[in-house]
Structure 1
Amino acid sequence: MNRWKAVAKCAEGILSNLAVIGIGLTLYEQKLWPVLAIGIGTAAAALFIAWSMNHD
């Protein structure tokens, strides 16, 4: 079970970083709407993984 928890934390970290990069690029360029959608989508996925994981 600890292995799956480690995988979930790793995926959460990767998705969180992608979300920050996507939202940052959108704010910088102010016209990359597909990047904003990807940033928000990955942020939502990271939050879903974080909330569904057991925190012992």
Structure 2
Amino acid sequence: HRPIKRRNKFYRSLRTASTTIKGMETIRGIYKKNRRNGMLFGFSVSTEIKVLMGILA
């Protein structure tokens, strides 16, 4: 959260800064949600191992 909130020199107005920060927070939230589920880019290592070993999920 901290890197998103730090002051950046490339923001020209409060409106563009707000939009950029919201986008960064959204992407970070999606990334954290996928990491929590064990899936990254729609691929879960644990699920693939279970399928290979014949373990039902």
TM score, norm. by length of structure 2: 0.46
Q: Which has the higher helix share?
A: 1
> Which fold has the larger relative contact order, with Cα–Cα distance below 8 Å and residues 6 or more apart in sequence?
1
Q: Which has the higher strand share?
A: 2
TM-score by length of 1: 0.46
